[in-house]
Structure 1
Amino acid sequence: MRIKKTYVVLSFHTTLEAMEWEKQCAECGVPGRIIPLPREISAGCGLAWRMLPEEFEQWQHKLDPARYDAVAAVEQ
């Protein structure tokens, strides 16, 4: 049995916003990755950015909340 971890998931309004976010995060060294939007979350786009809670805490002050739709905690 696989042990589930809690992740912070950022959702986006559009796929373009998600792809631009991924590019900017790669350039700035922000940890995480693009994933399919978890079923627990409803958003306009089918993609989300997943990162560990401690990583989100560390980077939160550098992330522009206008660039993403919502933040949620999800077990995966």
Structure 2
Amino acid sequence: MLEKRKWLLLTFYTTAGVMALERTCTQAGLPGRIVPVPRSITADCGMAWRCEPSLRQQVVPLADPNEVMGIYELEI
């Protein structure tokens, strides 16, 4: 079984919002990926952007604040 790690998760109201952040992060050279939202939290579109917590100060400003539903640091 895989060991749990702490991740930064941004959840979104729409799929377009998470895909826009993926595109922006890729262009900026910031690693991360789209993942299903864990059961412990909810999001309207069911997808989240996952990256290292150390990237919080770089990633959060790139996300559209009207699209972000929540920002979490979770062990998953």
Q: Same fold (TM over 0.5)?
A: yes
Moved over 6 A (4+): none
Does 2:15 match 1:15?
yes
Percent identity reads 36
Cα distance per residue 1:10-54 (max 9 Å; x no partner): 000001111111111111112211101111111111110001111
1:37-52 maps to which residues of 2 (within 5 A)?
37-52=37-52
Structure 1 unaligned spans of 5+: none
CA distance in 2, matches of 1:10, 1:19: 12
In the alignment, structure 2 segments of 5+ residues that lack a partner are none
TM-score by length of 2: 0.82
Two-structure CA RMSD over aligned residues (Å): 1.9
Shift in CA distance, 20/61, structure 1 to aligned 2, threshold 3 Å: closer
CA offset at residue 3 of structure 1?
1.6
CA separation of 1:21/1:60 partners in 2, compared to 1, >3 Å: closer, same or farther?
A: closer
**TM-score normalised by L of structure 1:** 0.82
